[in-house]
Structure 1
Amino acid sequence: MIISVQYLRALASILVVIVHAFELHRIYFKKSIGISEKIYMFGGIGVDIFFVISGFIMMYICSKKPLVSFSQFLKFFENRVIRIAPLYLLITFFLALSLFIFPSLFNRTKFDFIHLIYSIFFIPYFNSAETWHPILAQGWTLTYEFLFYLLMGISCWLFGKRGVYVCAFFLLINYFFNASLDYSTSLERIFFEPRLIQFSFGIFLGALFLSNKILAGVLPNLLVSFLCIILVMYWVINFELVDDIQRAFLWGVISFLICYFFISNENFLNKFKSNFFLSLGDSSYSLYLTHNIVLAVAFKLLVFSKVHLSFYFVIPLVISLCLFVGHYTYTFIERPITLIFKKKA
């Protein structure tokens, strides 16, 4: 286990929870939270960190176990499906059933059988809520995770150890086709998502790690921190000018630097392990998939109860609920299901 990666997973998941908690508080209570949108929306970088982590982990796995045959490629992809699909599909079916039986509980999304089919196969679909999200909204990121796994697996099968670099190069080239697209079809949204480039940043980070070229120490930490601060300030200042394509690159670089910082301090984190953050890293996927449901239920109950609570009490409360549900979803659902499928594989 790479301890720093567990910490990064914990950080990424909690950032996503925070930004959604702030956003839903604003929506349900219909009032400003007194914090600039630029500030709390930056929590969305948790997704970008996840993409860089995925690139790093796939670089690590494929370098340790090269895919020299088609059967190894199939096994590689099967392992990725087992890791991601079971919990996602379980929650998706739960939400679809809820949409069908209790449609009034949902604000905009309506039950749509075609939407369900697209969601099951991780295909973007313009739904009744006028978004391209699947039924489980966070599942949009899994579309790109699976595409990346497919590209990485095929590249490594065809080109051996060089395949990781072929995959990274393809993702970099793919990024430069985005400027001329309007993402009007599902296929365009799958293959030309700007944030796909962030997986290549993770591959590059993995290459540095495997070749022992990650610089540790006070000076590198200060330099990385300084660069992060500069780039974040640039984004805040140019918030209105940075489009999605530019943002994908900018937040990808910031995510790379954050991941670099944590991985460069692997030895330090090994000496001072935090069971809380390690546990949060383990349950990060369950937390990521369940937190929006928990937040929606919590805010609906608060609005219904007409209890007036301080923003500074509500936000920690709902975030704590998300952490609680995420932990026990991992303990009693995700981990047992994953173990069952691994034994059968």
Structure 2
Amino acid sequence: MKTLYGIQYLRAVAALAVVLFHAAERSGEHFAIGAAGVDVFFVVSGFIMIVISEDRHLTPRGFLKDRLLRIAPSYWIVTSIMVLGSLAGLFPNLVLDPVHLIASYLFIPVASPSTGEMWPILVQGWTLNYEMFFYLVFAASLLLARPLRIAALALVFGTLVLVGQFAAPTGSIMDFYTRPIVLEFIAGAVIGRLWLAGHAPHPDTGLMLIAFAILSFAAIYLLQFNFNTWLCAPLAICLVSGMLAVEKGGALPRIPALSYIGDASYSIYLWHTLAISVVVKAGMIAGLPTAAIVWVGALLGTLLGIVCYEGVERPLHHLIKHRRIVFRIPGRRAAD
């Protein structure tokens, strides 16, 4: 897939927004709108899945294998660090339970014994439970003719949301998978199909969509509205559509640093809370101002994610790719 810098920039901004959200939340400050970075991630994810499947003859098994190898190793490492840290007494509020532990590794939403929420051991991993579910449904759609795939996805997720509105019990696994947030994947998929068909707004319209989304997010934050999916999803859709329109019109500048953060966004998302936890504890002991704790925590959380991207995620992917090449072509050099 050709690099789309607009998508890279959105991944970077979304990751940084989530980092700032967690840094503020753990310091007792208010930046709830930062969590809307997840809405942007989900729309982008739906877009990417459609685009990468366009020119490749993907099988359901091959697709799921690729996604699992892309997502799971780093996540399992961070989860294991959380488990070991809990056993060592570093995370006194983390309660370990065998069922919850296994479910966390398998991307199955189970109520946390620590909070009662449908969160895995690594709290931000709740979004990966949605991602994996979307991948499963998307993999099944690959058995259909290409023109039918989005309709099938929309039917499945639309039905789930309707069930959730009328029948899903609160706090259950059915409640988790029937929340409106799953529709963001479909929105991204529709944007991807339109993009592949050459349908994108005019760049000027794209700029207006971006401006509208940013101003609306700012209004939500400043007015301290209780944001939700119905409010944030349309803004995330505007942001993604607008960015793609500007890029298609050739008006998007190249910002290497932001593009790099986009590459590292998954590692930043996984690892940042470890650094934030340390900064918050140290900052409170030292009596630092809350604002300083928030910004230092966000900065060090981002830096830790970048370090782990270079030191964990990239080497893991290289190792996996290398081993897979050797496995598929026995008796030949890996460089062939």
Normalised TM-score (structure 2)? 0.87
Counterpart residue number, 1:296: 277
Give the share of equivalent positions with the same residue, in percent: 28
Say which is worse superposed, 107-116 or 8-17, in terms of deviation: 107-116
Aligned to 2:64: 77
CA shift for structure 1 position 228? 6.1
Equivalent residue, structure 2, for 1:29: none
Paired residue secondary structure (2:53)? helix
What's the CA shift for 1:315?
A: 2.5
1:252–1:274 CA distance, 2 compared to 1 (3 A): same
2:83 maps to which residue? 96
Q: Any conservation in 1 of the 2:6–2:247 contact (CA below 8 Å)? A: yes
1:206 counterpart residue number: 192
Structure-1 residue corresponding to 2:15: 13
Q: 1:138 aligns with which of 116, 124, 133?
A: 124
Retained in 2: the 8 A contact 1:156–1:164? no
1:232 Cα offset (Å): 6.8
Task: Name the counterpart of 2:74.
Answer: 87
Note the C-alpha offset of 1:108: 2.1
Contact kept in structure 2, 1:62 and 1:161, CA below 8 Å:
no
Distance (whole Å) between structure 1 residues aligned to residue 18 and residue 281 of structure 2: 20
User: What is the DSSP-based 3-state SS (H/G/I as helix, E as strand, rest coil) of the residue aligned with 2:78?
Assistant: helix
Match of 2:328 in 1: none
Equivalent-residue separation in structure 2 for 1:46 and 1:234 (angstroms): 14
- What does 1:211-230 correspond to in 2, within 5 Å? 211-223=197-209, 225-226=211-212, 229=215
Structure 2 unpaired stretches of 5+: 325-336
C-alpha contact (below 8 Å) 2:6/2:252 kept by paired residues: no
Aligned residue number for residue 329 of structure 2? none
TM superposition shift of 1:113: 2.4
- Identify the match of residue 225 of structure 2 among 232, 239, 259: 239
CA distance in 2, matches of 1:47, 1:96: 25
- Counterparts in 2 of 1:270 and 1:94: CA distance versus 1, 3 Å: farther
Task: For residues 4-46 of structure 1, give each alpha carbon's deviation from its aligned partner in whole angstroms, at most 9, with x where no partner exists.
Answer: 11101001100101111111111xxxxxx4xxx4xx2111100
The Cα shift of 1:224 comes to 5.2
Aligned in 2, Cα 1:277/1:228: closer, same or farther, shift over 3 Å? closer
Q: How does 1:297-312 map to 2 (within 5 A)?
A: 297-304=278-285, 307-312=286-291
1:343 aligned counterpart, secondary structure: helix
Task: Answer whether contact 2:268 2:305 (CA < 8 A) is retained.
Answer: yes
Partner of 1:316: 295
| Within-5 A mapping of 1:31-180 | 33=29, 37=30, 40-67=31-58, 72-102=59-89, 105-130=90-115, 131-180=117-166
Shift of 1:239: 3.4
The alpha-carbon distance between structure 1 residues 303 and 226, as it changes in their structure 2 partners (threshold 3 A), is closer
Name the amino acid aligned to 1:336: P
Give the helix-richer structure, 1 or 2: 1
Letter in 1 for 2:243: F
Change (3 A) 1:269 1:18: farther
CA distance in structure 2 between the aligned counterparts of 1:24 and 1:136, rounded to whole angstroms: 15
What is aligned with 1:287?
Answer: 268
Q: How far apart are residue 196 of structure 1 and its match?
A: 0.6
1-side partners of 2:47 and 2:188: how far apart?
A: 4
- Aligned pair in 2 of structure 1 residues 219, 269: CA closer, same or farther (>3 Å)? closer
- The structural deviation recorded for 1:333 is 0.3
Q: How many angstroms does 1:267 deviate by?
A: 5.1
Name which of 246, 249, 253 aligns with 2:234. 253
Matched, 1:333 2:312: yes
- Distance, in Å, in 2 between the alignment partners of 1:22 and 1:218 is 35
Deviation, 1:114, is 2.2
- Residues 15 and 46 in structure 1, CA contact (< 8 A), matched pair in contact too: yes
In structure 1, the partner of 2:24 is 22
Contact 2:213 2:236 in 1 (8 A): no
Partner of 1:30: none
2: CA distance, partners of 1:73 / 1:279? 30
Q: Judge conservation of contact 1:49–1:256 (CA < 8 Å) in 2.
A: yes
Aligned-partner residue type, residue 148 of structure 2: R
2:296 corresponds to which letter in structure 1?
L
Deviation at 1:231, TM superposition (A): 7.8
Q: Does the 8 A contact of 2:39 with 2:236 survive in 1?
A: yes
Distance between the aligned counterparts of 1:269 and 1:322, measured in 2?
A: 33
Contact 2:64 2:139 in 1 (8 A): yes
Query: Could you say what secondary structure the match of 2:27 adopts?
Result: helix
Q: Matched residue of 2:149: which SS? A: helix
